[in-house]
Structure 1
Amino acid sequence: MTELFFRSDPYQRLAETTVTAQTPEGGVVCAGSVFYPTGGGQPGDSGVLRWEGGALPIATAVKVRGSDEIALVPGEPGALPPVGAEVVQELDWDRRHRHMRVHTALHLLSVVIPLPVTGGSISAEKGRLDFDMPDMTQDKEALQELLTDLVDRDLVVTEDWISEAELDRQPDLVKTMSVQPPRGAGMIRLVRIGEDGEQVDLQPCGGTHVARTGEIGALRLGKFEKKGRQNRRVYLHLGS
């Protein structure tokens, strides 16, 4: 099982670790990973893998099918570090941090539009959520004001863990209709925005987030698109 450095500290940019395997597709598996793997609508991280006598650009990271390991996918053909090699993982921090800002912003979007979520995606410039919204009755200007207020309140973002049984007793915590929290490990990670009397959101999530909503910065609501009879797609853009 790959140790998830990004889980214990999403702000970690460098990590020293050891190569444990190479995948048949040419990926590099390490004992630990500072690279977040593609999942939950969030892209896999990119960066560089360095070792004595070599370096390799990493285009993305993915979960190894059927295991709890993460494979780093090279951005171009090149020599791979051998199994057992000591390596340094270097994150493309600007790209990751923008993913974190967008991801937390999408959680806020699900607060101001309190409807079931049917899908979503994240990029370094924008994100979107699809809502079970048969009729477009939302006031875009009012939603923008609510989002800006939540960012300006600089609410703390933290994590918590509950058992699968506890989640079953609180099904309202799950906002996504199309993707359910991963099960099998016994515990489910929750991301909380705000604390005590200021809590505004609590939902299962495995992604990386900023530490406070103020770190998101300027946000702009984008298009509202009709996607089928029931669905509306809503875009969010980072200001800078």
Structure 2
Amino acid sequence: MLLWGGVRTRIAGTRKGDELYLLPVEGDPLPPVGTAVRGALDDERRTRLMRTHSGLHVLTGVVFRDFGALVTGGNMEPLTARMDFDLAEVPPDFKDRIAESVNAEIAADRPIEVKTLPREEAFAIPDIIRTATNLLPPDIEEVRIVDIVGLDTQADGGTHVASTSMVGRVEVVKMENKGRGFRRLRIRIV
């Protein structure tokens, strides 16, 4: 949000053009041109997104470890998300097994560490890219690494909580077959 003259303008998103444009929530007041503003984060929303993002990494780590499946897509909102996997076959109890394994990893209270490595050193780490397509632009010289110690190490630019126990509990709400071996898992953080 932007804070100015005792007024608050919520920011709904951004748009890129020649510059980065902030998009206010419809109906919120706009500061007059030239007004000094201060930016602030919605800490509750950010924390929920951090918990969700870290929960998705635990999910990805478990599915990769137990089934060798790569991520083909995903999306998240605060405390709810979906993750798509390239997974041709799943056992009948897949959804329950995944939920149990993910929550066991969360309960293990694994530290989540972040570091930056030179590209060559980062790509020497086995399976550093857990997506079916490498989304890391070739001109990136330093790679940010997120390591859920003992479970999942990935190139990643997002924000995370400090340990898995901070995620909370993950409910696997639904599993969908998206065709040709692609499975979608919908989760909720509680």
Give the TM-score taking structure 1 as reference length.
Answer: 0.69
Structure 2 residue runs without a partner (length 5+): none
What residue is the counterpart of 2:73 in the other structure? 119
Instruction: Deviation per CA, 1:33-69: give whole Å up to 9, x if none.
Output: xxxxxxxxxxxxxxx211236432211245x357xx6
How many residues matched? 184
Runs of 4+ in 1 over 4 A off after TM superposition: none
RMSD, aligned CA:
2.2
- 1:95 pairs with 23, 45, 48, which one? 45
Give the TM-score taking structure 2 as reference length.
Answer: 0.85
What residue is the counterpart of 2:5 in the other structure? 52
Contact 2:4 2:31 in 1 (8 A): no
What residue is the counterpart of 1:39 in the other structure? none
Matches within 5 A, 1:199-210: 199-210=150-161
Q: CA deviation at 1:160?
A: 1.1
Is 1:213 the counterpart of 2:140 in the alignment? no
Find the aligned partners of 1:87 and 1:184 in 2 and give their Cα distance. 34
Q: Looking at both structures, which has the greater relative contact order when contacts are Cα pairs under 8 Å and sequence separation is at least 6?
A: 2
Find the aligned partners of 1:171 and 1:70 in 2 and give their Cα distance. 35
Q: CA deviation at 1:70?
A: 4.6
What residue is the counterpart of 1:17 in the other structure? none
Instruction: Deviation per CA, 1:60-107: give whole Å up to 9, x if none.
Output: 245x357xx653211125433535x43222222222211111110010
The percentage of counterpart residues that share the same residue type is 32
Is 1:238 the counterpart of 2:189 in the alignment? yes
Q: CA deviation at 1:235?
A: 1.4
Query: Which amino acid in structure 1 is aligned with residue 144 of structure 2?
Result: R
- Aligned partner of residue 109 in structure 2, secondary structure: coil
Find the aligned partners of 2:162 and 2:14 in 1 and give their Cα distance. 23
Contact 1:159 1:191 in 2 (8 A): yes
Contact 1:162 1:188 in 2 (8 A): yes
Q: CA deviation at 1:141?
A: 2.3
Mean alpha-carbon deviation: is it higher for 88-97 or for 219-228? Answer: 88-97
Structure 1 residue runs without a partner (length 5+): 1-47
Contact 1:182 1:188 in 2 (8 A): no
